[in-house]
A and B are shown apart, each in its own frame.
Chain A
């Protein structure tokens, strides 16, 4: 187990390091500069701003300084798009929002997707299976930016206690979370169905049936654990995808999460903001993958002992 954690941590560090290096030079390769968007600046004002953000130095020096500030002071620098705000404060404010939304929609997705997949597998090639799989395909094909507006119109409008958009009340999480969960639910349903079909054709399930074990018990005690493996492997990447891909839903429902900062950072060429967020995303993906690795080990005795 320690070995798994260690190799994941090392992998994450390596990936994040390359990611940050790539993104560092990539944002600087984008044509234009962070201060060009505002009204035309006098050359000396421009130079003063560049000095303030350390952009007057050669790029390799900037790179060295950036890494040094992170490692020695934990400082991600200042945002150039939102003057006077530190990138770390912006992330600290928006991350809890994204995290909450991500966790709620992941749980919703599991709650819908896994039972759907189990039903599909149990009724393999019957109408229940086809219905479940068409629903799952709908979850993949009717995507967030189609679902979101539909939900706003058909759910939030008639129900006066739900806001169409915003993030001021607890209930504001409901619509974006439902919108986000469908894609996850769909993939989980397909993976669970596949895993379940694999397991149900195994000899030990036939033995259990022959012994006269009730069907429900066969599913819960014998089949479910190994059958959920593919779904659990997917949970890590799924969570990362929800967190990093939530800017669409945040955009529709005006959720003050990390996605909006990323879009702003890209459009206004806010180097520090983009870098800080990407660094954070990279670490988050590493953690999510590690958690799903650990869950797999926890569930599979074969992996636990090796």
Chain B
């Protein structure tokens, strides 16, 4: 019997192949048409902003070139989507604005995931008093008015980042244009991430707390693995699902924060522009020409739609218990 059993087992494994969590999730996601549409739009927007726009820019289309004889050109009259109040090409402007908006949101989300996984993971794995105190700090920070704290924090670090940028340009000989453009979006990114990781931290903590009670963690412990190794090699990979879901939903909310702050003039500053900045400029010329507002507003709203539907779909696919269906 001891020789026959492994043979049967290996056959049954072959028969059941293909039902891993991720394969299951993909099948469920494919059934959700809105989520798939969202995913396709997300990919298209990313391609437009990060691949098409640089190619067009390299081939001579300039987002900042003014043409005062062709102000407020309509869709198709000049360029693909017309021109703005200074005769600049709207299509290029909206793509380059999108680069900044998406870059800020994606960078901030990466920071959020890093901080949230480390902090929440430790709080959940260690648990007890230390874990409790760590989560109380998160509760306290969550009880503060988010946008207001972000605005303040951005104001504080802006000066320091500018100093670093100057140092890079003067002493290290870096390309000043690139450095200055980055220096402008980094403070906002850091400020959003610095207070945006809290919910991620909570989600990771509860996942880590329930995982660390499971038998495979006990087995790892009895094998004498170090705590760091257990946490980052055994617990963290197992909570990829909730982390991916929440990260996907974090991106649109960060795009929104960036746009809100840029809209009131406390975010991205010229020469950079972002969707929020473009919408704000467009709103000023609303009565002269609608496309100046409509083009960035549509791109911005479409992006939020796409990310949110994709995130909701991923949640339904990866975590069927949590979804309300």
A interface vs B, CB < 8 Å?
Answer: 11-12, 14-15, 18-19, 22-23, 26-27, 29-31, 124-125, 137-138, 140-143, 145-146, 148-149, 152-153, 193-194, 197-198, 240, 244-245, 247-248, 251-252, 262-263, 266-267, 274, 278, 281-282, 285-286, 289
Q: In the assembled complex, which residues on chain A have CB atoms less than 8 Å from the CB atom of B325?
A: 124-125, 197
Contact A282 B287 (CB under 8 A): no
* Cα-based distance from A200 to B301 in the complex (angstroms): 33
Contact A149 B145 (CB under 8 A): no
* Cα-based distance from A248 to B283 in the complex (angstroms): 12
Chain B residues 239 to 272 lying within 8 A of chain A, measured CB to CB, are: 252, 256, 259-260, 263-266
CB distance from B248 to the nearest CB of A (A): 14
Contact A281 B145 (CB under 8 A): yes
Contact B286 A248 (CB under 8 A): no
Partner of A289 from the list B143, B282, B287, B308 (CB cut-off 8 Å) is B143
CB distance from B51 to the nearest CB of A (A): 24
Contact B279 A145 (CB under 8 A): yes
Q: In the assembled complex, which residues on chain A have CB atoms less than 8 Å from the CB atom of B119?
A: none
CB distance from A193 to the nearest CB of B (A): 7
* Cα-based distance from A19 to B144 in the complex (angstroms): 7
* Cα-based distance from A7 to B279 in the complex (angstroms): 43
From B145, B282, B301, B309, name the one whose CB has the most chain A CB atoms within 10 angstroms.
B145
Q: Which residue of B lies closest to A274 (CB)?
A: B152
Q: Which residue of B lies closest to A29 (CB)?
A: B156
* Cα-based distance from A243 to B145 in the complex (angstroms): 10
Q: How many residues of B contact A (CB 8 A)?
A: 40
* Cα-based distance from A177 to B282 in the complex (angstroms): 22
Contact B324 A285 (CB under 8 A): no
From A14, A29, A148, name the one whose CB has the most chain B CB atoms within 10 angstroms.
A29
Given A30-B156, A30-B159, 5 other A-B residues pairs in contact with their CB atoms under 8 A: A15-B143, A18-B140, A26-B152, A145-B283, A263-B265
Chain B residues 136 to 166 lying within 8 A of chain A, measured CB to CB, are: 140, 143-145, 147-149, 151-153, 155-156, 158-159
Partner of B305 from the list A11, A14, A141, A274 (CB cut-off 8 Å) is A141
* Cα-based distance from A11 to B143 in the complex (angstroms): 9
Given A19-B144, A145-B279, A248-B263: A31 and B305 interface contact (C-beta under 8 Å): no
Q: In the assembled complex, which residues on chain B have CB atoms less than 8 Å from the CB atom of A142?
A: 301
Contact B140 A14 (CB under 8 A): yes
Q: In the assembled complex, which residues on chain A have CB atoms less than 8 Å from the CB atom of B209?
A: none
Contact A285 B309 (CB under 8 A): no
Q: In the assembled complex, which residues on chain A have CB atoms less than 8 Å from the CB atom of B259?
A: 143, 145
Closest 10 CB pairs of A and B: A31-B159, A141-B304, A244-B145, A149-B283, A197-B324, A146-B297, A30-B155, A15-B143, A194-B324, A29-B156
B293 at the interface (CB under 8 A from A): yes
- Convert B301-325 into 0s and 1s, putting 1 for each residue whose CB lies closer than 8 angstroms to a CB of A: 1001100110000000000000011
Q: Which residue of B lies closest to A121 (CB)?
A: B324
Given A140-B304, A266-B266: A145 and B286 interface contact (C-beta under 8 Å): no
